[in-house]
Amino acid sequence: MLYTFCKTVPDGFLATLYFNNMKKTLIALFIFACIAGCNDDSNSLKPDKSNLVDPAIGIVDGRLSFKDISHFFGTIEQLGKMNEAELNAWGKQHNIYSLRKHFEATSDEDRPFTKDEEGFLPFPTSYRMILNSKGEVKIGDQIVWYHDGKKYFALTQSEMDKIKNSPDAVQAEGEYTISRVETKDASSNARFNMPMNVLNNKQFPFSYCLNSTPRKYVDELWSLLDGQRNFCDPVFGACGYSFHTSLYLRIKMEWKGRSSWKPAGEYRYINYDFVSTIILYSSPPSIYSPTLTRRFTSNGTYEIHSELDITLFDGLANHWDGDGAPYYSVDITGTIYQSIDGNSPTAPGGTACNPWTLGGPGITIW
């Protein structure tokens, strides 16, 4: 049993990546943690239909409001299990100008991203549904602002305004990190520690079939660590801190603007059919750190004009002082297909164009 106490997440909450052979991609979390729970939960990513609308979620001053941190992270996990139609229905019931709405509304604007927009782009759909366009949410009686890898807390709007005027002068009360998962072929007994800004995702550049402007399909893995709180266990005399972790596959299309690549707004077909095994465990394991496994088959067909995030893993884990560094083991086998939808208003012509298939039946993608 864990006894938790609300304190500050320690500094240096960063992620580092490790890799092995083609069959598996290992994503190490550069924190010494144990894993809370041990099971093979094949059905863990099926949504609970009764939770599509949560009457306990309020709206206060343009922000969604949650009872406490458990309510917040529980909603993150529920959203990660929803399909596109369920997400849209949830968004209508909890209607704010969210990050998701902001990026959809500005996808056609040929302008540089603001610094805040650049920082918000990697957030998974679950967070984009909850955070407003400023990166804010209300948890308990506090306003929480996600900004540049840190979380700031304030009891009033005037207090938050002061923080935003000079965030570097304020001690943040929490940290988070979002990183693209890099991949590298290696021998089975080798590991690599690579910078997280090295681009090595799966992508296919092409000229748009209607007007020859540059586009590219992108399939990529992302990892998010969201610091939560410190705790101590008086029975074992050990201390650490808990955090929420998400691993998600992002399927998207981008267009080349004057300044950068941006999410594209054209409708397209997406079809995917893959089997994934995701394991989060410590190395070396200890009595505090049993493995936590997600194995499931995922398939779907979408007609969509935004990014599609597929949650592969969502849950809480715990840092224990002295435990080995935990990491994900990722094995994804199957097919991901994209093409521009010829029947949509954005691509009239009646025929899908610019198709791309990543992988295939029985082929390892990651």
pLDDT at 132: 97
pLDDT at 229: 61
Average pLDDT over residues 36-57: 56
pLDDT at 249: 92
Tokens of 81: 């299990």
Residue 32 CB neighbours (<10 A): 16
More confident call, 259 vs 354? 354
Residue 128 CB neighbours (<10 A): 24
pLDDT at 151: 93
Q: Is the dihedral of CA 307, 313, 314, 318 positive or negative?
A: negative
Share above pLDDT 90 across residues of the chain, in percent, rounded to a whole number: 32
| Residue 56 pLDDT class (50, 70, 90 cuts) | very high
| Residue 266 pLDDT class (50, 70, 90 cuts) | confident
CB distance 30 to 195 below 8 Å: no
- Of 59-63, 161-165, 182-186, 326-330, which range is least confident? 182-186
| Residue 139 pLDDT class (50, 70, 90 cuts) | very high
First to last CA, the chain: 35
| Residue 241 pLDDT class (50, 70, 90 cuts) | low
Tokens of 356: 């791309």
Average pLDDT over residues 50-64: 85
- Of 97-101, 190-194, 213-217, which range is least confident? 190-194
DSSP state of 195: -
pLDDT at 75: 95
Measured CA distances, 321 to 237, 290, 344 (Å) = 11, 16, 54
Of 264, 267, 271, give the one whose Cα is nearest residue 344.
267
Mean pLDDT computed over every residue of the chain: 75
Beta-bridge mates of residue 233: 238
Element (H, E) at 31: none
In angstroms, the CA 65 to CA 139 distance is 6
Residue 21 has pLDDT above 70, yes or no: no
3-state secondary structure of 91: helix
CB distance 311 to 248 below 8 Å: yes
In angstroms, the CA 91 to CA 176 distance is 24
Residue 27 has pLDDT above 50, yes or no: no
Supply the pTM of this predicted model. 0.77
Tokens of 127: 């967070």
Q: Residue 246 — φ and ψ, nearest 5°?
A: -130, 140
More confident call, 138 vs 19? 138
| Residue 160 pLDDT class (50, 70, 90 cuts) | very high
- Of 78-87, 192-201, 331-340, which range is least confident? 192-201
More confident call, 288 vs 200? 288
CB distance 67 to 140 below 8 Å: yes
3-state secondary structure of 342: coil
Residue 77 CB neighbours (<10 A): 20
The structure tokens 């080349």 sit at: 256
- Of 24-38, 252-266, 268-282, which range is least confident? 24-38
Of 350, 331, 352, 327, give the one whose Cα is nearest residue 341.
352
Helices (H), the chain: 69-80, 84-93, 99-105, 115-120, 125-130, 157-165
| 145-154 pLDDT per residue, tens | 999 999 999 9
pLDDT at 204: 77
pLDDT at 207: 77
DSSP string for residues in 129-167? HHSBTTSEEEETTEEEEEETTEEEEESSHHHHHHHHHSG
Average pLDDT over residues 110-134: 90
CB distance 338 to 355 below 8 Å: yes
Q: Residue 206 — φ and ψ, nearest 5°?
A: -160, 170
| 282-314 pLDDT per residue, tens | 544 455 555 678 888 999 998 888 889 999 988
